[in-house]
Amino acid sequence: MEYVKINWMYVGVYRSNGNLVLQWYGDTTKGLKDTTDYVTDLFNIDVSEVCVFKDAIKMIKWVNRRQKTPLKKVVYMNWGVIPSEVLIYILRDCTTLPEISIHAEAAPNFRFSGNFRNIDCLDIWHGKWVTIDNLLTMDGIVISLEKSTLTNTDLNVFLRHWLSGGCPRLKLFSATTGDVDILQVLHGLMHNAVLVENRRDYTSLFGHQWILWDGYDIKRSDGVTATVHYQPLGATGALVIAVWPEASDN
């Protein structure tokens, strides 16, 4: 490992997957601040994305205060439980973040009330706390929920919501859950569904990729078409709603 000197501290530097990684010891929050100051001053650039493990609210506010261009993306990487106040801040109160990826679990008793703010791309790795009521308040381009507890009935309600004009910016929705029956998801909508059995590749504006081996095309009253697809994933499965055309904003 090589080292660089930042604010009188020697910081380890190594490459990983083509990226340059700085390894701080001790106070990682101070390390992130010092690194941010050093790199942005050196190259005269703003920060577009941060990965945070702790002190997320302080770090987001600090980065946004120090530059004219707001942060575009926050990845919360703590593998433990994300504090409820941090989750609420990221999802509702911080209005400048268009991309959010949350890798941590919410507290067992966490409930989100009220409306989500507009979030262009929302990835939640532990989505069992997300209810159908939460989902109906979202307006995003990409919504990805893993380890979800949404039922077939919930997914049917969300699909009807989209067909009636809800979540109008949606391009890609996916929910990984324990048991998906696509016919139950399409219950009452089969008159508006066309079976598709040829492979189609779908790539979202934010890089999410799905291979749609089959599915049902369903059309909204304004002519916009989405493919509803079920993909087995071992002991679980994913329900995907892919709105065409791909990789573009409505």
What is 177-192 written as a DSSP string?
Answer: ES---HHHHTTT-GGG
Please check whether residues 176 and 73 belong to one and the same domain.
Answer: yes
Q: Which of 12, 28, 45 is the last residue of a domain?
A: 45
Who's near 82: CB < 8 A, 6+ residues apart? 76, 102, 104, 105, 106, 107
Q: How many domains does the chain have?
A: 2
Which residues make Cβ contacts (< 8 Å) with residue 79, sequence separation at least 6?
103, 104
Model pLDDT for residues 107-119, shown as the tens digit of each residue:
999 999 989 999 9
Is the same domain home to 99 and 210? yes
AA identity, residue 125: W
Inter-helix orientation angle 56-66/28-43, to 10°: 20
Statement to judge: residues 15 and 56 lie in one domain:
no
What sign results for the dihedral spanned by CA atoms 71, 72, 77, 81? positive
Position 250 in a domain: no
The residue assigned the tokens 């700085």 is: 22
Q: Which two tokens stand for residue 219?
A: 């059309």
Is the pLDDT higher at 177 or at 29? 177
Mean pLDDT of 214-224: 96
In the numeric block, the tokens 């209005």 are attached to 95
How much is the pLDDT for 250? 42
User: pTM for this one?
Assistant: 0.88
β-bridge partners, 173: 143, 241
Does one domain contain both 8 and 97? no
